[in-house]
Amino acid sequence: MGKTLDLGHRVEIQPMDKHCHDISLGLYQQEFDGSPHYLVHTYSSAEAAPERVAFIRQAMVTMLGMEANAAQPEWFRFSCGDRHEKAAKRAFLDLCKLASGSPLEPKACTNFDKKADCDLSITGTTEGIYRASAAAETDASTRRIGALIRGFIKVCEMLPVDDSESDLRFTCGGLHNEMVGMLLFRAQNVRSAMQEDAASAGRGSLAPPSQQ
């Protein structure tokens, strides 16, 4: 009799958690009542593993503004009922970099941008539109707002609004301020996020000697 569990679709994995005995942490996805839910799971029987899983789960809930399923609290979802899978995957990998016990507080939607040399902000409106702005109006900050918008489109699968160069929205039409705050830094530095993804995808694949 096998010991693996039917946890649905594994969407992401942290293969070696440096904060907990190198255990692997998986992010799983399954639908309950037509709504995609997520679960953090490890197959490790390390003593510290349950506490670590609980911390990452709480980090996902707090830092992304997700909510636990009432009947199965280990599963959690976005309140809009949408999948937002790419954002969840990216945030999961980033949150696994936090040591257990780190303070968990949603991040602000404003961050200093070195290339713009000023703060960049992204603000949600009641119509579900997010607008990016810079604290100083310069050519550099205008370029960086464009880069930020493109970054959010890649990192969070957000959509541009009409022909605007500073507005975008989520596919669900809702507001996800916690997610936007959490991934603002990644949207500012989308190339490094993609490089990290590419490096991690190659690691763990066995190449024949001729390609090593």
Residue 20 engages another protein in binding (rule: CB under 8 A): no
Alpha carbons 135 and 99: distance in angstroms, whole number = 33
Give min distance, CB of 56 to another protein, in A.
15
Q: Closer to another protein at the Cβ: 103 or 204?
A: 204
Residue 23 engages another protein in binding (rule: CB under 8 A): yes
Give min distance, CB of 128 to another protein, in A.
30
Element at 187 (helix H, strand E): helix 177-188
Name the token pair of 53.
């899983």
Residue 101 engages another protein in binding (rule: CB under 8 A): no
**C-beta of residue 87 within 8 angstroms of C-beta of residue 183:** yes
Binding segment (CB under 8 A) for another protein, from list 2-10, 60-68, 127-135, 151-159? 2-10
Residue 2 engages another protein in binding (rule: CB under 8 A): yes
DSSP-assigned letter for residue 211: G
Q: Single out the residue of 151, 148, 158 nearest to residue 128, CA to CA.
A: 158
Each residue 37-76 as x (binds another protein by CB under 8 A) or -, in order, gives -----xxxx-------------------------------
Tokens 């506490």, located at residue: 51
Q: Closer to another protein at the Cβ: 3 or 114?
A: 3
- Bridge partner list, 122: 132
Q: Which of 47, 137, 139, 205 binds another protein (CB under 8 A)?
A: 205
Half-sphere exposure of 21 (CA within 13 A, CB side): 13
Residue 34 engages another protein in binding (rule: CB under 8 A): no
- Identity of the amino acid at 58: Q
Question: CB-based contacts of 177: which residues, under 8 Å, 6+ apart?
Answer: 65, 106, 109, 124
Name the token pair of 47.
């003593």
Residue 199 engages another protein in binding (rule: CB under 8 A): no
Residue 16 engages another protein in binding (rule: CB under 8 A): yes
Alpha carbons 186 and 91: distance in angstroms, whole number = 9
Residue 93 engages another protein in binding (rule: CB under 8 A): no
Residue 208 engages another protein in binding (rule: CB under 8 A): yes
Q: Which residues bind another protein (CB under 8 A)?
A: 2-4, 9-10, 13, 15-16, 22-24, 26, 42-45, 201, 203-206, 208-212
